[in-house]
Amino acid sequence: MSTDRTTRQKVEAGLPRRRRKEFTFKMLGMLATAAGILFLGVFFASLIGEGASAFKQTYLQLDIELSEDVLAPGGELDLAYADFDGLVRAALRRELPDVSGRQERRELYRIVSIGASYQVRDLVAGNPDLLGTTQTLWVPASSNVDMLIKGNIDANVEEALRPLSDKQIAWVEALREAGRLETRFNTALFTNGDSREPELAGIRGAVMGSLYMLLVTMMLSFPIGVAAAIYLEEFAPRNRWSDLIEVNINNLAAVPSIVFGLLGLAVFINWAALPRSAPLVGGLVLTLLTLPVIIIASRAAIKAVPPSIREAALGLGASQTQVVFHHVLPLAMPGMLTGAIIGMSRALGESAPLLMIGMVAFIVDVPGSLTDPATALPVQIYLWADSPERAFAERTSAAIIVLLGFLLVMNLTAVILRKRMERKW
């Protein structure tokens, strides 16, 4: 059978080429994956390397004399006017008695954060009986001292070029040797709102703002998106109009997010007169942004429900609505939820549209409601990245780590939900 042999020979002749191609493709794939992992690794390494130190903060231990003469000169304590600052300064002077002269003292006061006097005030406000006693407190050091301790300020640089003078460095050194200086976990980062002082700045306000926005977004976009998907997929007649709607939804998903911000500014703030910088408006804008994503994901999930299940239900005499709500929806739900959570995590990471509706303002207070002025985590990152202080650089990275943590949790939730709700048929 000569033909057989030639066929076999032809096949064999082509084999090395095929193998080579396969090998090349495999190598290319591995290279691409490796490059991706490498970039990710570099990204995380630099982020964590930069941001990890922000979770620590340098604190000074001071013995603060809560003198009645200073705090309540007329015999009455007035928290608004009492000179807490003076108490902190006095404590510092007692700690370093050698410091003399106006100029030197002023320099000395700069090694402690202005947050120290707030801390003393809060202490006294919480327990007025402490008046007249001496309290030993750990108060935050100024951000420059913190940077020095963390090694971000080089003491060998010429004095005029660094934010701390030789004297200040010497005092910090003395305090450290006396055991009066310590780095501890930076709780302020999680309990405070934004601040001009890096050592007092926290992400609580931004996190709360983001949570309020996501709440609004989820309450609106999930039901609306799922309802629209069900209608388009199960009830809407297929004609030119439904085609047009489909094309437009797909296009909307690709519209740059800042355009939604402009729309929100025009409609929600200028026309509907909702408050600026409010999580309510942010949530509405993000709803517009996530709706197309949720509709598309939900339609895909509905389409993935096998027709045999629909037919079975229809064949038993279920109405179209019953088929949808008894069979299609439960089976499509994991996919819909996944789409919704992915849309939400996109919304969580969005900053551009929020800039347009005033959520980029410097807001110190932690928002307590949907209409309080607020900012969001990504916008906070943007604001901090824009600040000149060295200490904000590490806080920027820390805020990014927190944001990524939230995104990770959301995506994990999506995976877990899908795994748990998935039903085999």
> Would you tell me which residues interact with other proteins (CB under 8 A)?
237-238, 306, 308-319, 322, 326-327, 331, 423-425
Instruction: Of 154, 150, 143, 186, give the one whose Cα is nearest residue 392.
Output: 143
Transcribe 264-310 into DSSP letters.
Answer: HIIIIIIIS-PPTT-HHHHHHHHHHHHHHHHHHHHHHHHHTS-HHHH
Report the C-alpha gap between 199 and 189 in whole angstroms. 8
Q: How far is the CB of 234 from other proteins (least distance, A)?
A: 11
* Closest approach of other proteins to the CB of residue 235, in Å: 12
Q: Compute the half-sphere exposure of residue 343: CA atoms within 13 Å on the CB side of its CA.
A: 32
Q: Cα-flanking dihedrals φ and ψ of residue 176, to 5°?
A: -65, -45
| Beta-carbon-side half-sphere exposure of residue 219 (alpha carbons within 13 Å) | 9
- Residue 102 or 420 having the CB closest to other proteins: 420
Please, what is the minimum distance in Å from the beta carbon of residue 373 to other proteins? 48
Smaller CB separation from other proteins, 306 or 368: 306
Choose among 301, 300, 292: nearest CA to 248: 292
Output 184 or 303, the one with its CB closest to other proteins.
303
Q: Which is nearer to other proteins, 3 or 239 (CB)?
A: 239
Q: How far is the CB of 294 from other proteins (least distance, A)?
A: 24
Q: Computed from CA positions of residues 264, 265, 266, 271, in that sequence, does the dihedral angle turn out positive or negative? A: positive
To other proteins, the closest distance from the beta carbon of 238 in angstroms equals 6
In the sheet with 134-140, reading across from the earlier edge strand, the strands are 134-140, 56-65, 181-185
Least distance CB 243 / other proteins (angstroms)? 14
Alpha helices for 110-256 (secondary structure H): 115-126, 143-149, 166-177, 188-191, 204-230, 240-252
The sign of the torsion formed by the CA atoms of 33, 257, 363, 196 equals positive
Crossing angle of helices 279-303 and 329-348, rounded to 10°: 140
Q: Which is nearer to other proteins, 126 or 317 (CB)?
A: 317
Q: Which residue type sits at 227?
A: A
Nearer to other proteins, 322 or 413 (CB): 322
Q: Which is nearer to other proteins, 131 or 304 (CB)?
A: 304
End-to-end C-alpha distance for the chain, whole angstroms: 50
We find the least distance from the C-beta atom of residue 236 to other proteins, in angstroms, to be 11
Report d(CA 295, CA 159) in Å as an integer.
Answer: 61
Q: How far is the CB of 360 from other proteins (least distance, A)?
A: 48
Give me the least distance between CB of 316 and other proteins, in Å please.
4
Six token digits for residue 229: 């998907």
Beta strands in 2-153 (DSSP E): 56-65, 134-140
CB of 387 to other proteins, least distance (A): 55
Measured CA to CA, the distance from residue 241 to residue 362 in angstroms comes to 46
Find the shortest distance in angstroms from Cβ 334 to other proteins: 12
Q: Output 188 or 332, the one with its CB closest to other proteins.
A: 332
Q: Decide whether 2 or 239 has the Cβ nearer to other proteins.
A: 239
Which CB atom, from 78 or from 311, has the smaller least distance to other proteins?
311
Task: Kindly tell me which of 314 and 364 has the beta carbon lying closer to other proteins.
Answer: 314
The conformation of residue 366, written as its DSSP 8-state character, comes to P
- Please, which residues have CB within 8 angstroms of residue 407's CB and are 6 or more apart in sequence? 345, 348, 349
